[in-house]
Amino acid sequence: MNTATSLSARNTKVMNRFDLTSRLIRKLEHEEAVIGGIGNTNFDLWAAGHRPQNFYMLGSMGLAFPIALGVALAQPKRRIFALEGDGSLLMQLGSLSTIATLAPKNLTMVVMDNGVYQITGAQPTPAAAVADIVAIAVACGLVNSAWAADEEDFERLIDQSMSATGPTLIGVRIDDKPGVGTTRRDPVQIRERFMHGMGVREPL
């Protein structure tokens, strides 16, 4: 894979969160889990098409990857995807070294880097100026980490992650558009549907 040393965020195409999320969802054929982080990542996941295997994090920043880690460890035969904003990940950086240590090979993480806390008013994040998320991930031990150069490269990296021997992190530079949908705010229903989607609960 390309790493931060061969491709920096500055050289990548600015893409769109909803388009990339839709591209990911179109690839899924095996009841893969997809965990959306707070706000825009789960709004676009919802808008890309609700599936019982989708989990939508409603209130706290930085929990998409930790939740996805738990699901990946609990269900090692299932592929788990997690979508997180750059601001949220920067609030929970310790999760990267934990994931690198536990190293579930069935986990693919996507960081949607718009360089802003878009949903609270587009204040700049440290990723806008100084912090390179992929370089941070590599330094945490996530060696399968790369910036996607464009949409085709994103799809290639997703495909490649499905047969990787360790966890994968894909950084994507995105525009400052808000999410296109709004997830129905019902935490109990979200949890129960997801548990059913994971095959560990009877349907509601």
Ligand X SMILES: Cc1ncc(C[n+]2csc(CCOP(=O)(O)OP(=O)(O)O)c2C)c(N)n1
Q: Which helix (H) or strand (E) holds 173?
A: strand 168-173
Residue 40 near ligand X by CB under 6 A:
yes
For ligand X, the nearest residue by Cβ is 85
Closest Cα to residue 90, out of 126, 130, 139?
126
Residue 120 near ligand X by CB under 6 A:
yes
Q: Which of 12, 42, 125, 145 binds ligand X (CB under 6 A)?
A: 125
Q: Which of 1, 21, 45, 87 binds ligand X (CB under 6 A)?
A: 87
Residue 42 near ligand X by CB under 6 A:
no
Tokens coding 177: 């558009």
Nearer to ligand X, 74 or 122 (CB): 122
Tokens coding 38: 């707070």
Residue 38 near ligand X by CB under 6 A:
yes
Question: At its nearest, how many Å lie between ligand X and the CB of residue 171?
Answer: 13
Nearer to ligand X, 19 or 196 (CB): 19
* Spatial contact of 64 and 57, defined as CB atoms under 8 Å apart: yes
With contacts defined by CB under 6 A, name the span among 45-53, 83-91, 154-162, 181-189 that binds ligand X: 83-91
Residue 88 near ligand X by CB under 6 A:
yes
Closest Cα to residue 198, out of 59, 86, 87, 51?
51
Tokens coding 27: 């690839």
Residue 182 near ligand X by CB under 6 A:
no
Q: Which of 56, 65, 81, 117 binds ligand X (CB under 6 A)?
A: 117
Nearer to ligand X, 71 or 174 (CB): 174
Residue 135 near ligand X by CB under 6 A:
no
Cβ-based neighbours of 53, under 8 Å, separated by 6 or more: 28, 31, 32, 33, 34, 194, 197, 198
* Spatial contact of 21 and 82, defined as CB atoms under 8 Å apart: no
192 vs 69: CA distance, rounded Å: 19
Closest Cα to residue 23, out of 55, 54, 49, 59?
49
Nearer to ligand X, 59 or 203 (CB): 59
Half-sphere CA count of 160, side-chain side, radius 13 A = 15
Q: Which residues bind ligand X (CB under 6 A)?
A: 38-40, 59-61, 85-88, 114, 116-120, 125
